[in-house]
Structure 1
Amino acid sequence: MPCRRPRPIVDRSGLIIGCIVAPPDSPSYGRDAEELLDIFVEESESDAFSSGELRHKRGDFPAVNFGWTLPSGFQHPINLSDSRHRAKIDRICKSSGFRQISGVQNGAFAFWNPGVYDYQKKRVEQVLAEKSDRPPLRRTTPKTAFPTTACNFRRVCCCPHRDTQNCPFGWCAITALGKFDHRRGGHLILWELKLVIEFPHGYTILIPSATVTHLNTPVADAEIRMSMTQYCAGSVLRYADNLGSTDKNLWHKNKALYGQNQADRDERWRMSLGLLSTVDDLEKGRRGRSIAAMFQ
Protein backbone atom coordinates (compact mmCIF):
# COMPACT_ATOMS: atom_id res chain seq x y z
CA MET A 1 0.00 0.00 0.00
CA PRO A 2 1.42 3.44 -0.87
CA CYS A 3 2.50 5.58 2.04
CA ARG A 4 -0.13 7.81 3.62
CA ARG A 5 2.43 10.59 3.85
CA PRO A 6 3.21 12.78 0.81
CA ARG A 7 6.28 11.81 -1.19
CA PRO A 8 8.31 14.04 -3.48
CA ILE A 9 9.80 12.69 -6.70
CA VAL A 10 13.35 14.09 -6.92
CA ASP A 11 16.09 14.00 -9.54
CA ARG A 12 19.72 13.13 -8.85
CA SER A 13 20.49 16.74 -7.89
CA GLY A 14 17.67 16.80 -5.34
CA LEU A 15 15.24 18.96 -7.32
CA ILE A 16 11.58 18.09 -6.74
CA ILE A 17 10.12 17.21 -10.14
CA GLY A 18 6.84 15.68 -8.99
CA CYS A 19 4.97 14.45 -5.95
CA ILE A 20 2.62 11.73 -4.71
CA VAL A 21 -0.16 12.82 -2.37
CA ALA A 22 -2.45 10.54 -0.37
CA PRO A 23 -6.11 11.48 0.14
CA PRO A 24 -6.68 13.82 3.09
CA ASP A 25 -7.43 11.93 6.29
CA SER A 26 -10.99 13.17 6.32
CA PRO A 27 -14.26 11.21 6.13
CA SER A 28 -15.80 13.99 4.05
CA TYR A 29 -13.09 13.70 1.39
CA GLY A 30 -13.67 9.98 1.09
CA ARG A 31 -17.42 10.46 0.73
CA ASP A 32 -17.02 13.27 -1.78
CA ALA A 33 -14.53 11.30 -3.88
CA GLU A 34 -16.98 8.39 -3.96
CA GLU A 35 -19.76 10.77 -4.99
CA LEU A 36 -17.63 12.12 -7.84
CA LEU A 37 -16.80 8.58 -8.94
CA ASP A 38 -20.52 7.77 -9.04
CA ILE A 39 -21.09 10.85 -11.22
CA PHE A 40 -18.26 9.78 -13.54
CA VAL A 41 -19.73 6.29 -13.84
CA GLU A 42 -23.19 7.62 -14.68
CA GLU A 43 -21.93 10.23 -17.13
CA SER A 44 -19.58 7.78 -18.84
CA GLU A 45 -22.62 5.96 -20.23
CA SER A 46 -23.48 8.97 -22.38
CA ASP A 47 -23.62 8.42 -26.13
CA ALA A 48 -22.75 12.08 -26.79
CA PHE A 49 -19.00 11.50 -27.08
CA SER A 50 -17.51 12.31 -30.48
CA SER A 51 -15.09 9.98 -32.25
CA GLY A 52 -12.24 12.35 -31.31
CA GLU A 53 -13.23 12.13 -27.66
CA LEU A 54 -13.40 8.34 -27.76
CA ARG A 55 -10.09 7.72 -29.55
CA HIS A 56 -7.13 10.04 -29.16
CA LYS A 57 -3.37 9.98 -28.60
CA ARG A 58 -3.79 9.16 -24.90
CA GLY A 59 -5.88 6.05 -25.48
CA ASP A 60 -9.28 4.62 -26.34
CA PHE A 61 -11.52 6.06 -23.65
CA PRO A 62 -13.87 9.06 -23.47
CA ALA A 63 -12.23 12.31 -22.38
CA VAL A 64 -13.85 15.72 -21.95
CA ASN A 65 -11.82 18.90 -21.46
CA PHE A 66 -13.33 22.06 -20.01
CA GLY A 67 -12.33 25.39 -18.53
CA TRP A 68 -10.39 27.74 -20.79
CA THR A 69 -7.21 27.72 -22.87
CA LEU A 70 -5.53 29.24 -25.92
CA PRO A 71 -5.70 26.73 -28.79
CA SER A 72 -3.34 26.87 -31.75
CA GLY A 73 -4.51 29.36 -34.38
CA PHE A 74 -6.63 31.45 -32.01
CA GLN A 75 -5.89 35.11 -31.28
CA HIS A 76 -6.97 35.04 -27.64
CA PRO A 77 -7.95 32.51 -24.95
CA ILE A 78 -11.38 30.91 -25.22
CA ASN A 79 -13.74 28.94 -23.04
CA LEU A 80 -13.90 25.27 -23.92
CA SER A 81 -17.59 24.76 -24.44
CA ASP A 82 -19.56 21.95 -26.00
CA SER A 83 -23.34 21.96 -25.73
CA ARG A 84 -23.39 18.15 -25.83
CA HIS A 85 -21.54 18.04 -22.52
CA ARG A 86 -22.80 21.20 -20.81
CA ALA A 87 -25.06 19.39 -18.34
CA LYS A 88 -22.35 16.81 -17.62
CA ILE A 89 -19.71 19.50 -16.96
CA ASP A 90 -22.05 21.55 -14.77
CA ARG A 91 -22.92 18.49 -12.70
CA ILE A 92 -19.25 17.62 -12.18
CA CYS A 93 -18.19 21.19 -11.32
CA LYS A 94 -20.98 21.61 -8.77
CA SER A 95 -20.08 18.44 -6.90
CA SER A 96 -18.24 18.58 -3.59
CA GLY A 97 -15.85 15.92 -4.82
CA PHE A 98 -14.68 18.03 -7.74
CA ARG A 99 -14.06 21.05 -5.51
CA GLN A 100 -12.25 18.95 -2.89
CA ILE A 101 -9.99 17.25 -5.42
CA SER A 102 -9.24 20.54 -7.17
CA GLY A 103 -8.25 21.98 -3.79
CA VAL A 104 -5.93 19.05 -3.06
CA GLN A 105 -4.33 19.33 -6.50
CA ASN A 106 -3.75 23.07 -6.16
CA GLY A 107 -2.54 22.76 -2.58
CA ALA A 108 -0.01 20.06 -3.48
CA PHE A 109 1.22 22.12 -6.44
CA ALA A 110 1.68 25.22 -4.26
CA PHE A 111 3.40 23.27 -1.46
CA TRP A 112 5.82 21.11 -3.44
CA ASN A 113 6.57 23.45 -6.33
CA PRO A 114 5.96 27.00 -5.04
CA GLY A 115 8.17 28.68 -7.64
CA VAL A 116 6.36 27.24 -10.65
CA TYR A 117 2.98 27.54 -8.92
CA ASP A 118 3.51 31.28 -8.34
CA TYR A 119 4.82 31.74 -11.89
CA GLN A 120 1.76 30.03 -13.37
CA LYS A 121 -0.83 31.49 -10.98
CA LYS A 122 0.38 35.05 -11.62
CA ARG A 123 0.02 34.66 -15.38
CA VAL A 124 -3.32 32.89 -15.19
CA GLU A 125 -4.68 35.70 -13.00
CA GLN A 126 -3.22 38.26 -15.42
CA VAL A 127 -5.09 36.72 -18.35
CA LEU A 128 -8.32 36.45 -16.35
CA ALA A 129 -8.10 40.14 -15.38
CA GLU A 130 -7.47 41.29 -18.95
CA LYS A 131 -9.97 43.85 -20.25
CA SER A 132 -11.21 42.52 -23.55
CA ASP A 133 -14.23 42.28 -25.82
CA ARG A 134 -14.06 38.50 -25.69
CA PRO A 135 -16.48 36.58 -23.42
CA PRO A 136 -15.27 36.30 -19.81
CA LEU A 137 -13.17 33.22 -19.18
CA ARG A 138 -14.75 30.67 -16.85
CA ARG A 139 -12.77 29.16 -13.99
CA THR A 140 -13.50 25.60 -13.03
CA THR A 141 -13.06 26.51 -9.33
CA PRO A 142 -12.64 29.99 -7.82
CA LYS A 143 -8.93 29.93 -6.92
CA THR A 144 -7.40 27.31 -9.17
CA ALA A 145 -4.04 27.93 -10.85
CA PHE A 146 -5.03 25.50 -13.62
CA PRO A 147 -7.08 26.92 -16.52
CA THR A 148 -8.16 23.55 -17.87
CA THR A 149 -9.57 20.28 -16.51
CA ALA A 150 -9.86 16.91 -18.23
CA CYS A 151 -12.22 14.18 -17.05
CA ASN A 152 -11.32 10.72 -18.34
CA PHE A 153 -14.16 8.20 -18.28
CA ARG A 154 -14.77 4.44 -18.28
CA ARG A 155 -11.73 2.13 -18.08
CA VAL A 156 -8.89 4.59 -18.53
CA CYS A 157 -5.63 3.10 -19.76
CA CYS A 158 -3.31 5.75 -21.17
CA CYS A 159 -0.84 4.98 -23.95
CA PRO A 160 2.74 6.26 -23.58
CA HIS A 161 2.63 9.98 -24.33
CA ARG A 162 3.83 13.44 -23.41
CA ASP A 163 1.45 16.41 -23.29
CA THR A 164 3.67 18.60 -25.45
CA GLN A 165 1.21 21.52 -25.60
CA ASN A 166 1.49 22.01 -21.84
CA CYS A 167 4.08 24.22 -20.18
CA PRO A 168 7.30 22.13 -20.30
CA PHE A 169 8.26 22.90 -16.70
CA GLY A 170 4.70 23.04 -15.37
CA TRP A 171 2.99 20.23 -13.52
CA CYS A 172 -0.12 18.33 -14.46
CA ALA A 173 -2.22 17.14 -11.51
CA ILE A 174 -3.79 13.68 -11.83
CA THR A 175 -6.24 12.09 -9.38
CA ALA A 176 -7.27 8.44 -9.80
CA LEU A 177 -10.91 7.46 -9.27
CA GLY A 178 -12.28 3.95 -9.40
CA LYS A 179 -12.83 0.54 -7.93
CA PHE A 180 -9.74 -1.54 -8.69
CA ASP A 181 -6.87 -3.39 -7.02
CA HIS A 182 -4.07 -0.82 -7.20
CA ARG A 183 -1.49 -3.53 -6.47
CA ARG A 184 -2.37 -5.35 -9.69
CA GLY A 185 -3.24 -2.53 -12.08
CA GLY A 186 -3.66 1.18 -12.63
CA HIS A 187 0.02 1.90 -11.94
CA LEU A 188 1.48 5.17 -13.24
CA ILE A 189 4.67 4.62 -15.25
CA LEU A 190 7.14 7.49 -15.68
CA TRP A 191 9.21 6.15 -18.54
CA GLU A 192 12.42 8.20 -18.52
CA LEU A 193 12.53 8.11 -14.72
CA LYS A 194 12.14 4.31 -14.72
CA LEU A 195 9.43 4.54 -12.06
CA VAL A 196 6.33 2.37 -11.67
CA ILE A 197 4.06 3.87 -9.01
CA GLU A 198 1.02 2.32 -7.33
CA PHE A 199 -1.85 4.76 -7.85
CA PRO A 200 -4.93 3.94 -5.72
CA HIS A 201 -8.35 5.56 -5.83
CA GLY A 202 -8.30 9.06 -4.33
CA TYR A 203 -4.53 9.54 -4.59
CA THR A 204 -3.08 12.49 -6.51
CA ILE A 205 0.19 12.61 -8.44
CA LEU A 206 1.70 15.73 -10.00
CA ILE A 207 4.23 15.39 -12.83
CA PRO A 208 5.80 17.52 -15.60
CA SER A 209 3.56 15.89 -18.21
CA ALA A 210 5.05 17.76 -21.18
CA THR A 211 8.58 16.46 -20.60
CA VAL A 212 8.18 12.99 -19.03
CA THR A 213 6.62 10.16 -21.03
CA HIS A 214 3.85 8.66 -18.91
CA LEU A 215 1.23 5.94 -19.14
CA ASN A 216 -0.76 3.72 -16.85
CA THR A 217 -1.27 -0.02 -16.69
CA PRO A 218 -4.73 -1.53 -17.32
CA VAL A 219 -7.03 -2.76 -14.58
CA ALA A 220 -8.93 -6.05 -14.57
CA ASP A 221 -11.94 -6.51 -16.83
CA ALA A 222 -14.44 -6.27 -13.97
CA GLU A 223 -12.82 -3.11 -12.55
CA ILE A 224 -13.10 0.58 -13.38
CA ARG A 225 -10.45 3.27 -13.24
CA MET A 226 -11.10 6.87 -14.23
CA SER A 227 -9.20 10.09 -13.59
CA MET A 228 -9.49 13.85 -13.18
CA THR A 229 -6.58 16.01 -14.31
CA GLN A 230 -5.80 19.72 -14.32
CA TYR A 231 -3.20 21.37 -16.52
CA CYS A 232 -2.03 24.59 -18.18
CA ALA A 233 -1.13 25.02 -21.85
CA GLY A 234 2.16 26.76 -22.53
CA SER A 235 0.35 29.11 -24.94
CA VAL A 236 -1.57 30.64 -22.00
CA LEU A 237 1.68 31.63 -20.27
CA ARG A 238 3.21 32.99 -23.50
CA TYR A 239 0.08 35.06 -24.07
CA ALA A 240 0.49 36.58 -20.61
CA ASP A 241 4.19 37.29 -21.17
CA ASN A 242 3.23 38.98 -24.45
CA LEU A 243 0.84 41.27 -22.50
CA GLY A 244 -2.26 39.85 -24.14
CA SER A 245 -0.99 38.88 -27.59
CA THR A 246 0.05 35.83 -29.52
CA ASP A 247 3.63 35.82 -30.79
CA LYS A 248 2.49 36.71 -34.30
CA ASN A 249 0.34 39.63 -33.16
CA LEU A 250 3.03 40.91 -30.80
CA TRP A 251 5.55 41.02 -33.65
CA HIS A 252 3.23 43.45 -35.46
CA LYS A 253 2.31 45.50 -32.37
CA ASN A 254 5.51 45.72 -30.31
CA LYS A 255 8.69 44.52 -31.99
CA ALA A 256 10.85 45.59 -29.03
CA LEU A 257 8.92 43.41 -26.56
CA TYR A 258 8.77 40.61 -29.11
CA GLY A 259 12.55 40.69 -29.48
CA GLN A 260 13.08 40.76 -25.72
CA ASN A 261 10.72 37.83 -25.16
CA GLN A 262 12.42 35.79 -27.86
CA ALA A 263 15.82 36.48 -26.31
CA ASP A 264 14.48 35.51 -22.89
CA ARG A 265 13.26 32.18 -24.27
CA ASP A 266 16.81 31.17 -25.12
CA GLU A 267 17.42 31.12 -21.36
CA ARG A 268 13.97 29.84 -20.37
CA TRP A 269 15.31 26.39 -19.53
CA ARG A 270 17.72 27.92 -17.02
CA MET A 271 14.98 30.10 -15.53
CA SER A 272 12.61 27.15 -15.21
CA LEU A 273 15.19 25.06 -13.36
CA GLY A 274 15.67 27.99 -11.01
CA LEU A 275 11.98 27.89 -10.12
CA LEU A 276 12.18 24.31 -8.84
CA SER A 277 12.83 23.55 -5.18
CA THR A 278 14.70 20.94 -3.18
CA VAL A 279 13.34 19.49 0.05
CA ASP A 280 15.98 21.56 1.84
CA ASP A 281 14.66 24.72 0.13
CA LEU A 282 11.17 23.97 1.39
CA GLU A 283 12.47 23.15 4.85
CA LYS A 284 14.18 26.52 5.11
CA GLY A 285 11.10 28.32 3.86
CA ARG A 286 8.77 26.89 6.52
CA ARG A 287 8.96 28.26 10.03
CA GLY A 288 8.51 25.86 12.91
CA ARG A 289 7.49 22.92 10.76
CA SER A 290 9.69 19.99 9.83
CA ILE A 291 8.94 18.90 6.29
CA ALA A 292 11.53 16.14 6.57
CA ALA A 293 9.43 14.57 9.34
CA MET A 294 6.65 14.01 6.81
CA PHE A 295 8.79 11.42 5.02
CA GLN A 296 9.58 9.27 8.06
Structure 2
Amino acid sequence: IIDKDGRVIGLLAGRPADASWDDVASSAYSAMAGAAEVCQFKPKHSDHRRGQFATLATGVSFGGGRMVPGQVDNSKWNQKVLSDLCAVPAIRRLAGFGSAMLSTYAPRIFERTQCRLRALREHHPSLRFNFDNSVYPATTFNFGPATVCVDHTDAANDACNWCHVVALGHFDCDQSGQIVFPDLKLVVRFPHGASILIPSAIVRHGNTPIGPQETRMSMTQYCAGSLLRWVECGFRTVKTLEAEDPDEHRRYLAGLKERARESCALFERVD
Protein backbone atom coordinates (compact mmCIF):
# COMPACT_ATOMS: atom_id res chain seq x y z
CA ILE A 1 0.00 0.00 0.00
CA ILE A 2 1.63 3.24 -1.20
CA ASP A 3 0.89 6.79 -0.06
CA LYS A 4 0.87 9.86 -2.33
CA ASP A 5 4.59 10.44 -1.74
CA GLY A 6 5.56 6.91 -2.75
CA ARG A 7 6.07 5.61 0.78
CA VAL A 8 5.22 1.98 1.48
CA ILE A 9 2.75 2.27 4.37
CA GLY A 10 1.39 -1.26 4.42
CA LEU A 11 1.90 -4.74 3.02
CA LEU A 12 -0.58 -7.28 1.72
CA ALA A 13 1.86 -10.08 2.42
CA GLY A 14 -0.55 -12.90 1.62
CA ARG A 15 0.92 -16.37 2.02
CA PRO A 16 4.46 -17.57 1.38
CA ALA A 17 5.14 -19.73 -1.68
CA ASP A 18 5.18 -22.84 0.46
CA ALA A 19 3.25 -26.01 -0.41
CA SER A 20 2.84 -26.79 3.29
CA TRP A 21 1.15 -23.48 4.14
CA ASP A 22 -2.37 -24.91 3.91
CA ASP A 23 -1.40 -27.36 6.64
CA VAL A 24 0.24 -24.58 8.68
CA ALA A 25 -2.90 -22.43 8.53
CA SER A 26 -5.21 -25.36 9.33
CA SER A 27 -3.03 -26.43 12.26
CA ALA A 28 -2.95 -22.87 13.59
CA TYR A 29 -6.73 -22.60 13.33
CA SER A 30 -7.21 -25.93 15.11
CA ALA A 31 -4.82 -24.88 17.87
CA MET A 32 -6.70 -21.62 18.40
CA ALA A 33 -10.05 -23.41 18.39
CA GLY A 34 -8.76 -25.84 21.01
CA ALA A 35 -7.45 -23.01 23.15
CA ALA A 36 -10.77 -21.18 22.88
CA GLU A 37 -12.55 -24.20 24.35
CA VAL A 38 -10.49 -24.16 27.56
CA CYS A 39 -9.80 -20.45 28.09
CA GLN A 40 -11.86 -18.70 30.74
CA PHE A 41 -13.38 -15.56 29.24
CA LYS A 42 -14.84 -12.72 31.24
CA PRO A 43 -17.51 -10.42 29.73
CA LYS A 44 -14.84 -7.80 28.95
CA HIS A 45 -13.02 -10.36 26.80
CA SER A 46 -16.04 -10.87 24.54
CA ASP A 47 -17.69 -7.44 24.35
CA HIS A 48 -15.20 -4.64 23.69
CA ARG A 49 -14.52 -1.66 21.45
CA ARG A 50 -13.32 -3.80 18.53
CA GLY A 51 -16.47 -5.92 18.42
CA GLN A 52 -18.23 -8.86 20.02
CA PHE A 53 -15.90 -11.84 19.92
CA ALA A 54 -13.62 -13.58 22.39
CA THR A 55 -10.10 -12.15 22.60
CA LEU A 56 -7.02 -12.47 24.83
CA ALA A 57 -3.54 -10.95 24.59
CA THR A 58 -0.18 -12.18 25.82
CA GLY A 59 3.41 -11.00 25.88
CA VAL A 60 5.06 -7.76 26.97
CA SER A 61 3.29 -4.41 27.15
CA PHE A 62 3.09 -1.25 29.24
CA GLY A 63 0.15 0.77 30.52
CA GLY A 64 -3.03 0.17 32.45
CA GLY A 65 -1.62 1.65 35.62
CA ARG A 66 1.71 -0.21 35.55
CA MET A 67 4.79 1.65 36.76
CA VAL A 68 7.19 -0.41 34.61
CA PRO A 69 6.82 -2.62 31.52
CA GLY A 70 5.58 -6.13 32.26
CA GLN A 71 3.66 -9.12 31.05
CA VAL A 72 0.11 -8.68 29.77
CA ASP A 73 -2.17 -9.42 32.71
CA ASN A 74 -3.89 -12.82 32.48
CA SER A 75 -5.13 -15.38 34.96
CA LYS A 76 -2.66 -18.22 35.63
CA TRP A 77 -4.89 -20.64 33.74
CA ASN A 78 -5.35 -18.44 30.68
CA GLN A 79 -1.64 -17.59 30.59
CA LYS A 80 -0.76 -21.29 30.60
CA VAL A 81 -3.13 -21.89 27.68
CA LEU A 82 -1.74 -18.89 25.76
CA SER A 83 1.88 -19.87 26.41
CA ASP A 84 1.16 -23.37 25.13
CA LEU A 85 -0.56 -21.86 22.10
CA CYS A 86 2.50 -19.73 21.28
CA ALA A 87 4.61 -22.89 21.41
CA VAL A 88 2.56 -24.62 18.69
CA PRO A 89 4.83 -24.92 15.62
CA ALA A 90 2.18 -23.59 13.22
CA ILE A 91 1.52 -20.52 15.38
CA ARG A 92 5.25 -19.96 15.67
CA ARG A 93 5.61 -20.13 11.87
CA LEU A 94 2.87 -17.53 11.41
CA ALA A 95 4.65 -15.25 13.88
CA GLY A 96 8.00 -15.70 12.17
CA PHE A 97 6.55 -14.99 8.73
CA GLY A 98 5.09 -11.68 9.92
CA SER A 99 8.36 -10.60 11.51
CA ALA A 100 10.28 -11.59 8.36
CA MET A 101 7.92 -9.53 6.20
CA LEU A 102 8.45 -6.51 8.44
CA SER A 103 12.23 -6.86 8.21
CA THR A 104 12.05 -7.30 4.41
CA TYR A 105 9.63 -4.52 3.44
CA ALA A 106 10.19 -2.08 6.32
CA PRO A 107 13.80 -2.78 7.38
CA ARG A 108 14.37 0.59 9.05
CA ILE A 109 11.20 0.26 11.12
CA PHE A 110 12.25 -3.30 12.00
CA GLU A 111 15.76 -2.20 13.03
CA ARG A 112 14.46 0.69 15.16
CA THR A 113 12.04 -1.64 16.94
CA GLN A 114 14.58 -4.40 17.37
CA CYS A 115 17.25 -2.09 18.83
CA ARG A 116 14.91 -0.53 21.37
CA LEU A 117 13.39 -3.85 22.41
CA ARG A 118 16.84 -5.38 22.77
CA ALA A 119 17.73 -2.54 25.14
CA LEU A 120 14.46 -3.12 26.99
CA ARG A 121 15.20 -6.83 27.47
CA GLU A 122 18.75 -6.11 28.63
CA HIS A 123 17.45 -3.64 31.21
CA HIS A 124 14.52 -5.91 32.23
CA PRO A 125 15.81 -9.48 31.72
CA SER A 126 12.76 -11.04 33.40
CA LEU A 127 10.45 -9.98 30.54
CA ARG A 128 9.20 -12.96 28.49
CA PHE A 129 8.46 -12.45 24.80
CA ASN A 130 6.09 -14.81 23.01
CA PHE A 131 8.39 -15.97 20.21
CA ASP A 132 12.13 -16.25 19.67
CA ASN A 133 11.67 -15.83 15.91
CA SER A 134 9.66 -12.60 15.96
CA VAL A 135 10.52 -9.01 16.83
CA TYR A 136 7.01 -8.31 18.13
CA PRO A 137 6.66 -8.21 21.93
CA ALA A 138 2.92 -8.91 22.17
CA THR A 139 0.21 -10.96 20.47
CA THR A 140 -3.58 -10.82 20.55
CA PHE A 141 -5.55 -13.95 19.73
CA ASN A 142 -9.06 -13.18 18.48
CA PHE A 143 -10.87 -16.46 19.07
CA GLY A 144 -14.17 -15.50 17.47
CA PRO A 145 -15.91 -17.66 16.60
CA ALA A 146 -16.96 -14.73 14.39
CA THR A 147 -14.08 -12.24 14.58
CA VAL A 148 -15.49 -9.20 12.79
CA CYS A 149 -13.86 -5.97 13.92
CA VAL A 150 -15.67 -2.65 13.73
CA ASP A 151 -13.68 0.24 12.23
CA HIS A 152 -11.01 1.28 14.71
CA THR A 153 -7.41 2.30 15.27
CA ASP A 154 -5.12 0.81 17.91
CA ALA A 155 -3.92 4.14 19.26
CA ALA A 156 -1.73 2.67 22.01
CA ASN A 157 0.48 0.89 19.48
CA ASP A 158 3.71 2.38 18.14
CA ALA A 159 2.49 4.85 15.52
CA CYS A 160 4.95 4.10 12.73
CA ASN A 161 5.21 0.39 13.35
CA TRP A 162 3.32 -2.20 11.33
CA CYS A 163 1.07 -4.63 13.15
CA HIS A 164 0.95 -8.12 11.71
CA VAL A 165 -2.54 -9.61 11.24
CA VAL A 166 -3.32 -13.19 10.17
CA ALA A 167 -6.80 -14.36 9.17
CA LEU A 168 -7.85 -17.93 10.02
CA GLY A 169 -11.10 -19.82 9.66
CA HIS A 170 -13.76 -21.30 7.44
CA PHE A 171 -15.31 -18.48 5.42
CA ASP A 172 -15.70 -17.43 1.79
CA CYS A 173 -13.05 -14.72 1.47
CA ASP A 174 -14.61 -13.52 -1.80
CA GLN A 175 -17.86 -12.71 -0.03
CA SER A 176 -17.01 -12.15 3.64
CA GLY A 177 -14.28 -11.34 6.15
CA GLN A 178 -12.53 -8.78 3.94
CA ILE A 179 -10.41 -6.14 5.66
CA VAL A 180 -11.65 -2.59 5.16
CA PHE A 181 -9.58 0.61 5.26
CA PRO A 182 -12.18 3.42 5.27
CA ASP A 183 -9.70 6.30 5.10
CA LEU A 184 -7.84 4.67 2.20
CA LYS A 185 -11.11 3.67 0.47
CA LEU A 186 -9.91 0.11 0.15
CA VAL A 187 -11.62 -3.23 0.70
CA VAL A 188 -9.15 -6.13 0.51
CA ARG A 189 -9.74 -9.86 0.12
CA PHE A 190 -8.26 -11.53 3.20
CA PRO A 191 -8.17 -15.34 2.91
CA HIS A 192 -7.47 -18.02 5.51
CA GLY A 193 -3.76 -18.16 6.36
CA ALA A 194 -2.90 -14.79 4.77
CA SER A 195 -1.03 -11.94 6.45
CA ILE A 196 -1.44 -8.17 6.26
CA LEU A 197 0.89 -5.63 7.90
CA ILE A 198 -0.34 -2.08 8.57
CA PRO A 199 0.41 0.84 10.93
CA SER A 200 -2.73 0.06 12.92
CA ALA A 201 -2.31 3.00 15.31
CA ILE A 202 -3.00 5.51 12.52
CA VAL A 203 -4.85 3.59 9.78
CA ARG A 204 -8.51 2.81 10.49
CA HIS A 205 -9.39 -0.79 9.73
CA GLY A 206 -12.16 -3.31 10.26
CA ASN A 207 -13.79 -6.35 8.65
CA THR A 208 -16.89 -7.10 6.64
CA PRO A 209 -19.32 -9.60 8.24
CA ILE A 210 -19.15 -13.34 7.70
CA GLY A 211 -22.00 -15.76 7.01
CA PRO A 212 -24.07 -17.38 9.79
CA GLN A 213 -22.45 -20.79 9.25
CA GLU A 214 -18.92 -19.42 8.85
CA THR A 215 -16.15 -19.02 11.42
CA ARG A 216 -13.27 -16.56 11.50
CA MET A 217 -10.39 -16.06 13.93
CA SER A 218 -7.31 -13.87 13.73
CA MET A 219 -3.91 -13.43 15.31
CA THR A 220 -2.27 -10.00 15.65
CA GLN A 221 1.30 -9.16 16.63
CA TYR A 222 2.03 -5.62 17.80
CA CYS A 223 4.30 -3.31 19.79
CA ALA A 224 2.97 -0.81 22.35
CA GLY A 225 4.33 2.68 21.77
CA SER A 226 4.84 3.15 25.50
CA LEU A 227 7.51 0.42 25.49
CA LEU A 228 9.65 2.37 23.04
CA ARG A 229 9.05 5.67 24.86
CA TRP A 230 10.16 4.01 28.09
CA VAL A 231 13.51 3.19 26.48
CA GLU A 232 13.83 6.61 24.80
CA CYS A 233 13.29 8.37 28.14
CA GLY A 234 16.06 6.42 29.86
CA PHE A 235 13.86 3.55 31.16
CA ARG A 236 11.25 5.78 32.74
CA THR A 237 7.95 7.33 31.78
CA VAL A 238 7.65 10.73 30.17
CA LYS A 239 6.01 11.93 33.40
CA THR A 240 8.94 10.67 35.49
CA LEU A 241 11.36 12.28 33.06
CA GLU A 242 9.58 15.60 33.62
CA ALA A 243 9.91 15.27 37.39
CA GLU A 244 13.53 14.10 37.41
CA ASP A 245 15.00 16.13 34.55
CA PRO A 246 12.83 19.10 33.49
CA ASP A 247 15.40 20.37 30.98
CA GLU A 248 15.62 17.02 29.22
CA HIS A 249 11.83 16.77 29.30
CA ARG A 250 11.53 20.14 27.55
CA ARG A 251 14.01 18.99 24.92
CA TYR A 252 12.03 15.78 24.50
CA LEU A 253 8.78 17.65 23.88
CA ALA A 254 10.48 20.20 21.63
CA GLY A 255 11.70 17.38 19.43
CA LEU A 256 8.30 15.78 18.81
CA LYS A 257 7.82 17.27 15.34
CA GLU A 258 11.33 16.31 14.31
CA ARG A 259 10.80 12.75 15.58
CA ALA A 260 7.56 12.60 13.60
CA ARG A 261 9.48 13.56 10.44
CA GLU A 262 12.15 11.00 11.28
CA SER A 263 9.46 8.34 11.77
CA CYS A 264 7.96 9.10 8.34
CA ALA A 265 11.44 8.73 6.85
CA LEU A 266 11.64 5.18 8.23
CA PHE A 267 9.06 4.00 5.69
CA GLU A 268 10.65 2.69 2.50
CA ARG A 269 9.79 4.22 -0.86
CA VAL A 270 8.46 2.10 -3.66
CA ASP A 271 11.32 3.12 -5.94
Q: Considering the TM-score relative to the shorter chain, is it more than 0.5? A: yes
Cross-structure match for 2:51: 59
Q: Which runs of structure 2 are paired with 1:199-214 in the superposition (5 Å)?
A: 199-214=190-205
DSSP-derived class of the 1:142 partner: coil
One-letter amino acid matched to 1:74: R
After superposition, the C-alpha distances for 1:92-138 in whole angstroms (9 at most, x for unaligned) are: 11111111011110011111111211111111111111057xxx111
Q: Mean alpha-carbon deviation: is it higher for 51-60 or for 89-98?
A: 89-98
Q: CA deviation at 1:220?
A: 0.9
Do the aligned partners of 2:158 and 2:223 also contact (CA within 8 Å) in 1? yes
Do the aligned partners of 1:166 and 1:232 also contact (CA within 8 Å) in 2? yes
Question: Is 1:197 the equivalent of 2:188?
Answer: yes
Cross-structure match for 1:107: 100
CA distance 1:165–1:130, change in 2 (3 Å): same
Gaps of 5+ in 2: none
Question: Is 1:22 the equivalent of 2:27?
Answer: no
Q: Mean alpha-carbon deviation: is it higher for 266-275 or for 103-112?
A: 266-275
Do the aligned partners of 1:186 and 1:199 also contact (CA within 8 Å) in 2? yes
Mapped to 1, the partners of 2:14 and 2:39 lie a distance apart of 33
Question: Is 1:222 the equivalent of 2:226?
Answer: no
Cross-structure match for 2:109: 116
Q: What is the root-mean-square deviation in Å for CA atoms of aligned residues?
A: 1.5
2:146 corresponds to which of 138, 155, 158? 155
Mapped to 2, the partners of 1:130 and 1:203 lie a distance apart of 35
Do the aligned partners of 1:29 and 1:100 also contact (CA within 8 Å) in 2? no
Q: CA deviation at 1:73?
A: 2.8
Q: CA deviation at 1:249?
A: 1.5
Mapped to 2, the partners of 1:90 and 1:241 lie a distance apart of 29
One-letter amino acid matched to 2:178: H
Size of the aligned set, in residue pairs, is 269
Q: CA deviation at 1:199?
A: 0.1
Q: CA deviation at 1:81?
A: 3.9
After superposition, the C-alpha distances for 1:182-204 in whole angstroms (9 at most, x for unaligned) are: 00001000110000000001110
One-letter amino acid matched to 1:145: V
- Give the structure-1-normalised TM-score: 0.87
One-letter amino acid matched to 2:87: K
Gaps of 5+ in 1: 1-8, 281-296
Question: Is 1:137 the equivalent of 2:127?
Answer: yes
One-letter amino acid matched to 2:212: D
Mapped to 1, the partners of 2:193 and 2:229 lie a distance apart of 33
One-letter amino acid matched to 1:94: A
CA distance 1:238–1:47, change in 2 (3 Å): closer
Q: CA deviation at 1:47?
A: 6.1
Mapped to 1, the partners of 2:252 and 2:90 lie a distance apart of 40
Provide the identity percentage. 31
Mapped to 1, the partners of 2:22 and 2:124 lie a distance apart of 40
Cross-structure match for 1:75: 67
Q: Which runs of structure 2 are paired with 1:148-187 in the superposition (5 Å)?
A: 148-153=138-143, 154-187=145-178
DSSP-derived class of the 1:206 partner: strand
Cross-structure match for 1:98: 91
